[in-house]
Structure 1
Amino acid sequence: MGRRSKQGLAIAGVLALAIVLPYVVSNDYLFHLIIMAVIWGILATSLNLVLGYTGLLSLAHGAFFGLGAYTSALLVTKCGWNFWATIPPSMLIAALGGILIGVLTLRLEGHYFAVSTMSFGIVVSLVLEKWDDLTEGPRGISSIPAPTPIPLFGLGHLTFESDIAKYYLALAMLLVCLLFVWRMIHSPVGRALEAIRQNELLASCLGVNLIYYKLLAFCFSAAMAGLAGVIYSTYITYLNPVDAGLWNGFYAVMYIVIGGMGTFLGPLVGTVFLVTVPEMLRVFQDYRLLLLGVLLILTITFLPEGIVGALKRFGRRRPSRARVSR
């Protein structure tokens, strides 16, 4: 069986497991964690486009996440919009935020760029907190309704009141984002981004427009982060400025680093790892955070390429060892 066939079977198996998961997991809290892992997976996938494939350390994705979430929530609760109609403007607002910060900071490099994106996140969080008339300030937006039912042409309506329905909604959006990233990284645009990540000077000499491709990646990445915020808002049904703060951006970076930067499934693996492991360590109570910190340090130290990267390296070594043994 060829490598592509094995990858196809693995992806099909994971997808089948994801589809039947709601009917396998009976614990409500565990199912809640799974839904949150899917939502954070969308955010991590969006950041991987700029961090993993372009080499840009952005700490502003928590802000893009919050912009998408707040835009959708405000349009639904204060303007009476249909939920589905709020998705394009929410992604657009987040994308415009990405373009704005990209135009201002993409000529910077290294830690200067990272600090600039972090500052943008702080500004967005403060605006959401202080603009009381629009965003309700620190009180936040509550009672965000479930997605609008979809008519099935004589067969009733497809509703999204239950957690299972919201899980499938989040899963569908994650699959759309994964498909988009897959097509993008296997296109000329993806090759240009990879060239930028490897060596900006060489890429520029080869005719790659650095600012254009960085801005393109940043725009699409911010839009997907905004989509994650939309799904989060309708699932949690409550928002406050903390949801647009820096911590969500930091968590997304950790998901990618642990899972494997620049790998397709790395962000998802890292998300599942960091969402579920802290709960497994809950039995240790006061030592839980200490054990989690040690575990993260060990993972970064001994698996610098992440979990998925380490598995790929192990898979490449096995055939060569088998040939030597013969």
Structure 2
Amino acid sequence: MLNFYPGPSKVYPEVRNYLVDAYDEGILSTPHRGEQFVQMTRAVVGSVKRRLNIPQDYYIFFTSSATECWEVLIQSLTKHKSSHIYNGSFGEKWYQYAQKLRPAAEGFSFDLNAPMPVEQLNISADTELICFTHNETSNGTQVSPTTILNLHNRYRDTLIAVDATSSMAGLNLKVIKADIWFASAQKCFGLPAGLAVMACSPRAIFRAKQMGERAHYNSLVSMYEKMLNYQTTHTPNVLNIYLLKRALEDRPFIKTIDLELTDRAQELYTFFEQFSDFQLLVENEEVRSKTVLALQGNEKLIDDIKKRALHHNMRLGNGYGPWARNTFRIANFPAILNEEYEELKRFFLHYYA
């Protein structure tokens, strides 16, 4: 089965061997307070920073998912209000969840074919955390480095948190331009679901210490204190942390991966522009995602494409949110081989050209 679903997506084929090694090395039953775990975590933290081009003074944490990161950040970095900028379902869900914890949370929506309107934003002066999704998996849009820089320059005194779930480990993110970046492992990391990686700036940790929020097992200040000794507040997904270590060691540095995915994304967009029965959902090239393509057509055709692809052992991504019935999505993740995309192209040329 060729898997182009945008998460959980295809895992690296080497994961099979990593799993056997984990068993043989005793990782599956190692104590999470023991020396083997500590040494493993120390190694993987170093690899995350080196391979993904994360500043050395940022702190690395592990949670169960990006969704858990939403909760951790709102609980531990805001007393009153966060502000959320979104153009799709996942950014909006983060905002809605923040409202449950901090009812004063603000939301600013913008069109999927428009860049984030930084100059038009009217974020309240008492906002403690600005939140947005770097790569909106639901509709195949992406916030450009220039836009992130403009946001950073305009709100220098406010912490900025970025959900990079479908771009971290695939694109060379300018991490220093925001205080928090996080992502789940089941997309560009090429690993099974059940683990998220979060990088926090010294400024974010200073804020967490100032608040001193310790009411939850995953309070950020508690996570920080444990990770000083390369431990976690709770029994973590030890196996997936091990898989992360091995995968990072065997992958190129992020600059190389970024170049490969960028080139392939352009080839895929050019390929799909030739079809007349369905179209790219995002018309503005400047805001198209490099890692998730969304294609739009009438509901009957979209349903036929997905079913026919599945019959030919290809799993395409369903649409999501407002685009659930009239779109399908294709992941452009590092674990998926070029030959697999060539087979995907042959499928579309045969049935829909």
When normalised by structure 2's length, the TM-score is 0.27
Higher strand share: 2
Higher helix share: 1
When normalised by structure 1's length, the TM-score is 0.28
